[in-house]
Amino acid sequence: HVEIGPGTVVDSHAVIEGPTKIGKNNHIYSFASIGGDPQDITYQDGQESNLVIGDDNLIREFCTINRGTEKENSLTRIGSNNMLMSYVHIAHDCIIGDNNVMSNATSLAGHVNMGSNIVLAGYVLVHQFCRIGDYSFAGMGAALNQDLPPNLLATGSFAKTHGLNREGLRRNNFDQKKINCLHKAYKLIFRSSNNPTNTK
């Protein structure tokens, strides 16, 4: 129950279990474990459980990607053009967009929804059911126990936002006018004393 598209390379000692569909021109390196059973105590053999991976992804050594559970469409989905460095873990029912970089030993718990053009530095941990917005950045060792909105930079354990991910926005061709507008919105929403949810 495994489908692998044209041009995809699977190196020696990688393990792929199904049901799993993998697109074209991916590179799966040695000792990766793709499409394993969900690490969920409620999962039972015979339940519907799938993994879908897009095109042009790099999946480095010792990465683990688990299939989905019936709790959430029975699907884990990885988009296209992502770089998953060594020891990255993506748990059951995660949805990952496109053009993301997940550095070494980054781990996503179950049901994480991650957008596109995101960088997660080494050893970032993401709590289950969190959402990570487009163009955001989490610094090395950050522990995300709540959503990270789009365009923002977060560090620490537990992580806090520290303004815009300016470098990431520039690399993705945001002009200075757009960046300035986003900065004003960030200050209004996250730093303004007029927002009663903000605390020092």
92 catalytic residue (yes or no): yes
Catalytic residue among 110, 115, 133, 168: 110
Q: How many CA atoms lie within 13 A of 14 on its CB side?
A: 21
Q: Which of 54, 68, 89, 93 is catalytic?
A: 93
Which H or E run contains 181? helix 176-186
DSSP strand E in 25-156: where?
27-28, 33-36, 50-53, 58-59, 64-66, 75-78, 83-84, 89-90, 95-96, 101-102, 107-108, 113-114, 119-120, 125-126, 131-132, 137-138, 143-144, 152-156
* Residue 188 φ/ψ, nearest 5 degrees: -65, -45
27 catalytic, yes or no? no
Q: How far apart are CA 108 and CA 113, in angstroms?
A: 9
- CB count within 10 Å of CB 38 equals 22
For residue 147, indicate whether it is catalytic: no
- Catalytic residue (choose from 92, 111, 134, 168): 92
Which are the catalytic amino acids? 92-93, 110
